[in-house]
Structure 1
Amino acid sequence: MKVRPHVSIALLLALAAAVAAPGAAPSATAGEAQIAVAANFTAPMKRITALFEQDTGHSVRTSYGATGKFYAQIRNGAPFEALLAADQKRPERLEAEGVGVPGSRFTYAIGSLVLWSAKPGLVENDPSLLRTGNFNKLSVANPKLAPYGEAAMQTLSALRLRQALEPRLVMGENIAQTFQFVDTGNADLGFVALSQVMQDGRIAKGSGWIVPGDLHAPIRQDAVMLHRGRDNPAVIELIAYLQSEKAQAVIRDFGYQTE
């Protein structure tokens, strides 16, 4: 299957409808896609990957980590065929730099930030704990690498608490490590992705405050196909599948908004 460098959204949407249709036959020639995925999207991506592989016969190799780190690796020749970022600016940059396929970029999810503790009852449904200071350490993702970390620092600035709380910050390389610091008790609380703690429409463990969207810039997460994957049917169909209602329903189940 030969694909032109410009992959239109119309083509992707048509493919999405085909591969997500009930009873659709798996692809006659199974392929493999190698995808870099923002750490906050780990849980929904695992579920989507399982559905995609079942529906299409293709396989997906995923690497999870910080968007900023993936961007640097891709620019240095890492063999990824698509990037599911935690922001918009890196996919836009890759497209502008000629590494991303023109017309393939789209917003696959809009994230939510939550102030979370593994301890039940510690975080009320407001930021009062941050103001009282009755905690030891606050974990945030590195704002230079992770958009959720950038949103966390914007939130602290909006609350006028950034300067006061900076000495208590524990910095994670990405949002997965940030969650781990809090989950293991190395930090009393932290700003993590809602998708990491949400199950069946509620915070499933510990306690948390879902940060209002007006306290930070929108966390719009874009995907982009990379030129390395432009001739790979598995990559093209996966990018399309992410825009199908089947995949979008999974994304919403984990607390994201979709367009």
Structure 2
Amino acid sequence: MSCPPASVPRRLLPVVVAAALAAGAVMPRAHAGETLVAVAANFTAAAQEIGAAFTEATGHTVTFSFGSTGKLYAQISHGAPFDAFLAADAARPEKAEAEGHAVPGSRFPYALGRIVLYSADPALVDDGGAVLEAPEAFGRLAIANPVTAPYGAAALEALEALDVLDQVRPKLVQGDSIAQTLQFVTTGNAPLGFVALSQVAGHEDGSRWLVPQNLYAPIRQDAVLLKHGADNDAAHAFLDYLQGPDAAAIMDRYGYGQSER
């Protein structure tokens, strides 16, 4: 059995040990790092909750930059210092690998998104989305920009599948991202719009219709490690955490389905 250092009297050893333990409790975890992650706007609330849980579990800190997938990819292709990219589609992360912006083989699906026809007016949207067949009942219909936002592209697909696109086209107003699209609806600038299920999950206000998944292609959301984050331990740890059970439970609360990995 080892003896205490000669410089510490045996009677004071419990005090010294207690002080050391107390100091350790407030010291930051060894090798804690930081990472900057680009995240599709639909994933804002879920990412913030996952980020807080990740920091609590690992000691690493993560900072998010939110926006439409297309605009984030444009920033990445022009050298923005993001370590990882959580897109709202599979195409841009795949393109990031192909064009040399991402670490080869690091791409994986993390969630399946869904769209909702939503209005702040509790009486406007009925189950089945019949309001879309009566454009005179609303002034504007908000969608995200279908060129840069996969949720906007899904909205157009659904409108076409419902055979109402030509009727409502004159009423369409586009948000730069799905976040701005929701803002249009909640502020009354558009009486209704197609938003992400994750944005209204857990809220009972307004009226909504969960659009059947057979009306649009699955919104598979992929993540990828970018070249800038290749040697960043915190970035690697965050992507690992994103694939774990704690993150999955958070995503489930926001209405995301889980992609096969």
Letter in 1 for 2:244: S
Partner of 1:17: none
Is 1:231 the counterpart of 2:236? The answer is no
Report 1 or 2 for greater relative contact order, CA contacts < 8 Å, sequence distance ≥ 6: 1
Segments of structure 2 that go 5 or more residues without pairing to the other structure are: 1-27
C-alpha displacement of 1:62: 0.5
Alignment of 1:29-68 (within 5 A): 29-68=31-70
Alignment of 1:75-224 (within 5 A): 75-133=77-135, 134-199=137-202, 203-224=203-224
Task: Tell me, in whole angstroms, the C-alpha distance in 2 between the residues paired with 1:42 and 1:129.
Answer: 29
C-alpha displacement of 1:97: 1.1
Residue by residue, what CA displacement relative to the aligned partner does 1:124-163 show, whole Å, maximum 9, x if unpaired? 1112000022111100000000000000001111111111
Partner of 1:14: none
Task: Tell me, in whole angstroms, the C-alpha distance in 1 between the residues paired with 2:74 and 2:85.
Answer: 12
Give the TM-score, by structure 2 length: 0.87
Residue by residue, what CA displacement relative to the aligned partner does 1:59-105 show, whole Å, maximum 9, x if unpaired? 11101100000111100001111100000000000011121111211
Task: Tell me, in whole angstroms, the C-alpha distance in 2 between the residues paired with 1:192 and 1:32.
Answer: 31
| Paired residues, number | 231
Segments of structure 1 that go 5 or more residues without pairing to the other structure are: 1-25
Letter in 2 for 1:175: I
SS of the equivalent of 1:129 reads helix
Task: Tell me, in whole angstroms, the C-alpha distance in 1 between the residues paired with 2:219 and 2:204.
Answer: 22
Residue by residue, what CA displacement relative to the aligned partner does 1:21-77 show, whole Å, maximum 9, x if unpaired? xxxxx8521110100000000011010000001111111110110000011110000
Letter in 2 for 1:193: A
Partner of 2:18: none
Partner of 1:256: 256
| Runs of 4+ residues over 6 Å off in structure 1 | none
Letter in 1 for 2:34: E
Quote the RMSD (CA, aligned, Å).
Answer: 1.0
Letter in 2 for 1:230: A
SS of the equivalent of 1:192 reads strand
Task: Tell me, in whole angstroms, the C-alpha distance in 1 between the residues paired with 2:158 and 2:183.
Answer: 21
C-alpha displacement of 1:204: 2.3
C-alpha displacement of 1:121: 2.2
Partner of 1:9: none
Task: Tell me, in whole angstroms, the C-alpha distance in 2 between the residues paired with 1:189 and 1:96.
Answer: 38
